[in-house]
Amino acid sequence: MRFRKPSVEPLEINLTPMIDCLLFLIIFLLLATSFDHYSRLNIVLPEADGVTTTEDPKKIEVAVQEDGSYLVNGTALGANNEAALINMIKQRAGDDRNMLFVIAADGNASHQSVVRVMDVAGKLGFVNLNISTVTPKEGALAMQPVTAN
């Protein structure tokens, strides 16, 4: 008996289905991705309808001016750095950390200056922090000071 030698078919890898799948994935990703919103932030700034403050003699008020300089209870600091701000607040507050801490910042003051005051208040342990704002009266240009918790 004579057996025939089995013929070996050459192996061939068909790449067409793999390419089709990759193209479908690329098209899906292009259609599912939005490219026009990558750098835009939709921020709605809050309006302050706070309660008007009553004059409290035991409070720390830090004013942040447009140029980034600070005033603590109306007294200007010698240097506009964090160490000088901490020293002045410690002098004014003593050991009382429950007193009202008010930040009154100019509308054109840098955000970093305001955040520095908030950071100092947090480091010193103040728990009653308010930000001073103004609300316009209807039909008039006058402003009245209010605080928002």
For range 88-108, the mean pLDDT: 86
pLDDT digits (tens, 9 = 90+) for 126-137: 888 888 766 555
What is the chain's mean pLDDT, rounded? 78
Q: What is the pLDDT at residue 16?
A: 92
* Residue with tokens 């480091």, as numbered in its chain: 123
Residue 70, amino acid: Y
Q: What is the DSSP string of 1-66?
A: --PPPPPPPPP----HHHHHHHHHHHHHHHHH---TTSS-----PPP---EEPP--SSEEEEEE-T
16-66 pLDDT, tens per residue? 999 999 999 999 988 888 766 545 545 555 566 665 655 556 888 888 888
pLDDT at 146 over 60: no
Confidence (pLDDT) at 139? 43
Correct CATH for 51-148 of 1.10.357.10, 3.40.50.20, 3.30.420.270, 3.40.50.2300 = 3.30.420.270
**Domain residue ranges in the chain:** 51-148
Whether the model clears a pTM of 0.75, i.e. scores above it, the answer is no
Residue 144 has pLDDT above 70, yes or no: no
Q: What integer pLDDT is reported at residue 42 of this predicted model? A: 56
106-128 pLDDT, tens per residue?
A: 888 888 888 898 999 988 888 88
Supply the pLDDT for residue 27.
93
Residue 78 has pLDDT above 90, yes or no: no
